[in-house]
Copies of this chain bind each other. A is one copy, B any other.
Amino acid sequence: MKELKPPPLLLLGPGPSNVSYRVLRAMSTPLLGHMDPRFMEIMDEVCQLLRDTFQTQNKMTFPVSGTGSAGMEAALVNVLEPGDKAVIGVNGVFGARMADVAGRCGAQVITVEAPWGQPLDGQQMLEAMRANPGAKLCGVVMAETSTGVLQPLQELGAFLKGTEALFLVDTVTALGGVNVEVDNWGIDVCYSGTQKCLSVPPGLAPITFSPKAMQVLAKRQSKVQSWYLDLTLLQKYWGSDRLYHHTAPISMIYGLCEGLRIIAEEGLANRCARHSAAAAYLARGLADMGFGFYAAEGYRLPSLTCVFPPAGWDVEAVRKQLLKDYDIEVGAGLGAVAGKVWRIGLMGENACVQKVNVLLGALKDFA
């Protein structure tokens, strides 16, 4: 059988990003049992480091045993019951996915749409909430991975704080590289994925629930439709009871722990500044070469830059050649802009000038 020896790739797509040797080393650590007191110490450390990264005091903060999409599903299935109203912003693939998942929970979904590449109109979101009194939640994607749009959250969060509705935010392509202030911004349910700015392999979805969200959970009339993601059960394992629910993905939690320690060592503010600086450097380089930007100015994610290559470039052919001949992965477009844009991620380990120059240097060969 073929040996497992991937080339030394530079992963500049929409995730996974490259992973520190320290995280890879942690992934290869021999196992502890999922009920071992020493593993529980690691669980506690992971939860505390996640709280620091989410900038929250929420007790119920832990990694869901699945990828970012499982985090989205965990967020929605726990707070929605059949017949609930959910207002969801849709300006890309992941907003649409959120609406789809909410619908599968039996919710009545009210979408507020914006063109791809544009942020959601905060005023329109507020109006939708006012027009739907009793709506259980308002859901938005902070970092829309299909377009590279960064959604402002603070105004909406401040409004929702004064209502019964929960503020549910997707930070998959933000957490650990773009400032996310769960408590200050009034976010009630917030989830992410490990393979983006956290620079850990895909497989876990950090998630946090505010006390307001936990009250909604406690008042449910029906069982959570997913046993696997049922927070009423999960909290007994991740909380102080330590009651067995499912076997935790131990190696992934080792890796996440090490990845979060790296973030704590660097400092979250430093790390976010590094992401911004790298993105600005990339944007200048690409603009000089004639690339166009998909996301509206002022609303561009540091972690993911979506661009139209210069006229005349064979978008998909060059992307494939970058992977094949240069060992550089950039992401293809999704949906309406498939074959028209690239999605260039500078996340975690990769958010630095050196990595940007590896890409810019390669692109000059096609100019």
Contacts and interface: CB of A to CB of B under 8 A. Distances in A.
A100 B201 contact: no
A101 B228 CA distance: 9
A26 B201 CA distance: 13
B4 A31 contact: no
A79 interface: no
Nearest to A247: B202
A288 to B, nearest CB: 27
Contact of A249 (B13, B19, B67): B67
Contacts of A252: 201, 203, 249, 251-252
Interface of A: 1-2, 4-6, 8-9, 11, 13, 15-16, 18-19, 24-36, 38, 41-42, 45, 65-70, 72-73, 97, 100-101, 103-105, 193, 195, 201-203, 223-228, 244-252, 254-255, 257-258, 261, 264, 323, 329, 332, 334
28 contacts: A2-B41, A6-B30, A9-B36, A15-B247, A16-B250, A18-B30, A24-B29, A27-B28, A27-B251, A28-B28, A31-B201, A65-B70, A65-B203, A66-B66, A66-B228, A67-B248, A68-B247, A69-B227, A69-B228, A69-B245, A73-B227, A104-B227, A195-B250, A201-B249, A201-B251, A202-B249, A203-B251, A225-B226
